[in-house]
Amino acid sequence: MKKIILMGRSECGKTSLTQAMRGERITYHKTQYINNYDVIIDTPGEYAENKILGRALALYSYEADVVGLLASAIEPYTLYPPNITCMVNREVIGIVTQIDRPGARADLASGWLRNAGCKDIFFVSSMTGEGVAEILEHLREPGDILPWDE
């Protein structure tokens, strides 16, 4: 599978999405440092919120095939400036998380991601699993066998 790095502000659902994509039970876990799993790199939100720490995200993006910019459907603002995706020489996808939460505005979050330059946008709920399979399918390479293929 293609390797993906997940980036976004604190509490946007990066670690929950990581757990859902790995088939784990969803439990709250504050990410304190960059976790490099088999095909997922989970990053702390503080790295995206701080320009000094953001340099680490730039370096780690070279270890991934795909950059996933996350925006929660319940976020009041976005961290991503317009057309930021051109700064990366990797495929960049947008992921709208927490679509099942009360007051979710998936349309607003997807607009922010489109404005940032994301062409492909996925809508997910890590709690229900909605949309997770679509991301895994997007990351699939020829010969990859996913759990539902067996």
Helix (H) / strand (E) containing 18: helix 14-21
| Residue 138 and residue 122 in contact, taking contact as beta carbons nearer than 8 Å | yes
- Residue 57 CA to residue 62 CA, distance in Å, equals 9
**Token pair in block for residue 150:** 């067996």
Kindly list the domain boundaries of the chain, sorted by start residue. Answer: 4-141
* pLDDT digits 0-9 by tens, 107-121: 999 999 999 999 999
| Residue 101 and residue 128 in contact, taking contact as beta carbons nearer than 8 Å | no
Q: Which residues is 42 bridged to in the sheet?
A: 6, 35
**Token pair in block for residue 85:** 């995706």
pLDDT of residue 87: 84
108 closest CA partner among 79, 73, 69: 73
Domain 4-141 fold: Rossmann fold (3.40.50)
Mean pLDDT by 10 residues, the chain (150 residues): 96 94 87 86 92 86 95 95 90 98 97 97 96 95 80
